[in-house]
Amino acid sequence: MRHVFFIAGLGTLLCASTANAMPPVADTVFTNGFIYTVDAKNSVAQAVAIKNGKILYVGSSAEATRYISPHTQKIDLHGNMLMPGLVDGHMHPLRGGERLVLCSLQYLPLTKQEFSDRIKACLVDPAVPKRKNWLLVTSWFQEAMRPKDTILDKTILDKIDNKNPIVVYSSFGHSALLNTPALEAAHITASTKSEPGGEIIHDAKGQPTGLLEDTALNLIFAAQPAASDEQKVAAARAVLTVLRKQGVTSFLDARAAEVDIKAFSVLQQNGELTARAHFAPLITPEMGQDAKKSVDYVKGLSTRYDQGSITQQPTITVRHAKMYMDGVISAPGLTGILTLPYRINKGTVEHPDWQPGSSTGPAPYFPVPVLSKLLQGLVQAGIDPHMHADGDGAVRIALDAVEVTRKALPKSDFRPGLAHDELVAQADLPRFRQLGAIPVMSFQWGKRAPDTTGQTADALGEDRSNAMEPAYQLEKAGARIAYGSDWPVDPLNEWFALQVGITRQNAPDVEPQYRARLGDMPGLSRASVLRAITMNSAYELRQDSVTGSVEQGKIADLIILDRNITTIPVNEIGKTTVLMTMVGGKVVYSSGEFVPKTP
């Protein structure tokens, strides 16, 4: 009755009964597709209708015709797969963006000579942007240098240029190599100490070799000229181009500085933001000693930049904080925190005898009492903690602090993310479910590669290196597994990552020693990896009620694929191409096959 009154009040000629019976008219209807919904049952539908950026209907192509009027765009999918847009729950977009524009070593396994030649070429290439007189080099695959066990120092860079600073960043982001002018600019001498959680490598005479690890990198970050605001915005724009093409419709920047948030905010204001952008400002171990100050810092950024609840149009969200629990368990870093010691060679090079040493890695970056206090402050401020935890010791520290926080704040609904979890102790597997902690896994690491075999396997031992990347065990123990590419640690290829998540195997064309599976732990199912990169990551980012699946009432973040990844041979998933990306009902990318217009 209220409805009748309302319509009469507007003076329309429509009679109430017609208004009630007529289904709403869709802006766009996709029919004849393989719509993989990622709803609770992983249902498959044929059609989806969209109105005002939201999903009006999901079901059969025949039923969908009810929503079609002469003004509706009808797109015949010809059987193509359509699924929810990808949600990347952990990446470093602007670091990736800078790699798209700065001098890059392209993650290649290089010899010393090749390393040197490539940097020399960048130095004279006018197309490679410099920061004042500094040359910054990215994507150095330090672990894959040839021959095996090659360790570099500043002399290789000094031979290229000993007047102007050169800094080479490893692709893992946990180490950097500096030449002498860069060491001088960062005021690093024999007596300089790193803050906790890092190391300045010294030679036998006590002089810095040019290699910095983990938090010691802060010394060079502080010294090197920053990108200009324009350079940052340009890098953010380059990032979005790449994400659209991969089908990424939401992401978490897992270590956001204010300038990063600002760059994406500029694009948001220009109407150029084509993915839902979430940011986790970094709380360093040093800052974290003062919980209140740290919380105020994140809250301040949230107040300035967060745009509130998720809408059809992509916005900026600042509702996470990032903390590093450790470094990486891969050699030569071995900066991950373990529950049991790394192994050391007690024999000779010819006759190795690997035995447990005395080191379980660095001292905790955040001791449990410090972390617990910090987490409680963050949770009370409505901020979800996002913790890098690579070794099983670091994972345990994070879980212990989450447990303390749950007990202290039993009514708080917080969603702690534990990123990477390359090793998890058996006893800690069920704790993820019990504590509502979300493992944010980077599936592509679960394969044989220079960082999981060789020195790394020697230092971890066979059992632990076979148990790396325990997504399967975590899922079995009831954890809700989310996904984060960690780009640009690896080149961005979300589809290859999903493939490795299923196969635990490298690409068929890699060097022979990397072709076998990694250990005998099963991989995840196709349904599980697809859920991880959609619904579960949406859950991590608190947008699972509005995105992450193709369901009526949700926002239309959708992608169309060139192949059906639920049925093709598993080794072809990595070659998937996205044909169209839609965010909030708006087409932000099309390869040309499907070109719906935005109403």
User: Where does residue 20 rank: exposed (0-12), middle (13-18), buried (19+ CB within 10 A)?
Assistant: exposed
Q: How far is the CB of 98 from Zn ion (least distance, A)?
A: 15
Q: Least distance in Å: CB of 68 to Zn ion? A: 45
Q: Is the CB of 161 or the CB of 326 nearer to Zn ion?
A: 326
For residue 540, state whether it binds Zn ion (rule: CB under 5 A).
no
Residues 219-258 binding Zn ion (CB under 5 A) are: 254
Q: Which residue is nearest to Zn ion (CB)?
A: 486
- Give the shortest CB-320-to-Zn ion separation in angstroms: 13
Determine contact, residues 482/537, Cβ cutoff 8 Å. yes
Segment (H or E) for 375: helix 368-380
Question: CA nearest 520: which of 508, 507, 506, 504?
Answer: 504
CB of 443 to Zn ion, least distance (A): 14
Q: Which CB sits closer to Zn ion, 371 or 389?
A: 389
Q: Is the distance from CB of 105 to CB of 62 less than 8 angstroms?
A: no
Q: Which residue lies nearer to Zn ion by CB, 343 or 388?
A: 388
Strand pairing report for 103-104 and 135-140: parallel
Cβ proximity to Zn ion: between 390 and 392 the closer is 390
**214 binds Zn ion per the rule CB under 5 A:** no
Phi, psi of 213 (to 5 degrees): -120, 140
Site size toward Zn ion, by CB under 5 A: 2
Residue 219 or 254 with smaller CB distance to Zn ion? 254
Amino acid present at 469: E
Binding flags for Zn ion, 41-70, as an x/- string (CB under 5 A):
------------------------------
Residues forming beta bridges with residue 547, ordered by sequence position: none
Q: Which residues contact 296 (CB under 8 A, 6 or more apart)?
A: none
211 has which bridge partners?
Answer: 177
Token match 């217009």: residue? 597
Report the residue from 253, 486, 540, 544 that binds Zn ion according to the rule CB under 5 A: 486
Q: Which of residues 263-282 bind Zn ion (CB under 5 A)?
A: none
Using the minimum distance from each CB to Zn ion, give the nearer residue, 252 or 556: 252
428 binds Zn ion (CB under 5 A): no
Residue 251: CB minimum distance to Zn ion, A: 12
The least distance separating Zn ion from the CB of residue 283, rounded to whole angstroms, comes to 14
Q: Which is nearer to Zn ion, 50 or 298 (CB)?
A: 298
Q: Which residue bears the tokens 């609904």?
A: 413
Least Å from the CB of residue 96 to Zn ion: 11
Q: Specify the residue for token string 């007596």.
A: 191
- Between residues 251 and 594, which has the closer beta carbon with respect to Zn ion? 251
At its nearest, how many Å lie between Zn ion and the CB of residue 326?
A: 12
- Of residues 324 and 342, the one with the C-beta less far from Zn ion: 324
The interface region with Zn ion, picked from 263-271, 302-310, 481-489, 529-537 by CB under 5 A, is 481-489
Which part of the chain contacts Zn ion (CB under 5 A), choosing from 72-80, 175-183, 333-341, 478-486?
478-486
| Min CB(537)–Zn ion separation in Å | 14
Residue 381 buriedness (CB in 10 A; 0-12 / 13-18 / 19+):
middle
Is residue 326 part of the contact set for Zn ion (CB under 5 A)?
Answer: no
Minimum distance of Zn ion from residue 145's CB (angstroms)? 22
Q: From the CB of residue 131, how many other CB atoms can be counted at a distance below 10 Å?
A: 16
Cβ atoms 255, 282 nearer than 8 A: yes
Smaller CB separation from Zn ion, 169 or 589: 169
- Residues 336 and 315: their CA atoms lie apart, in Å, by 35
Distances (CA, A) of 116 to 110, 142, 152, 184, 232: 9, 13, 11, 21, 28
Taking each helix axis from N to C end, the angle separating 392-408 and 368-380, rounded to the nearest 10 degrees, works out to: 50
Q: Which stretch binds Zn ion (CB under 5 A): 396-404, 484-492, 512-520, 583-591?
A: 484-492
Nearer to Zn ion, 254 or 550 (CB): 254
Which tokens is 523 given? 């991989």
* Region binding Zn ion by CB under 5 A among candidate stretches 103-111, 145-153, 482-490, 564-572: 482-490
Distance CA 69, CA 599 (A): 14
The answer to whether 421 contacts Zn ion (rule: CB under 5 A) is no
CB 581, CB 598: distance < 8 Å: no
CA 583-74-556 angle, to 5 degrees, is 20
Of 225, 228, 244, residue with least CA distance to 185: 225
Looking at beta carbons only, is 161 or 390 nearer to Zn ion? 390
Least distance to Zn ion, CB of residue 91, Å: 7
User: Quick one: 497 exposed, middle or buried, by C-beta within 10 A (0-12, 13-18, 19+)?
Assistant: buried
CB of 234 to Zn ion, least distance (A): 22
Only one of the segments 79-87, 121-129, 439-447, 479-487 lies at the binding site for Zn ion (rule: CB under 5 A); that segment is 479-487
Residue ranges with strand state E in 264-408? 276-281, 316-317, 320-324, 343-345, 354-356, 384-389
Mask of contacts with Zn ion, 545-574, x by CB under 5 A?
Answer: ------------------------------
Residue 260 touches Zn ion, criterion: CB under 5 A = no
Using CB under 5 A as the criterion, which residues of the chain lie in contact with Zn ion when the complex forms? 254, 486
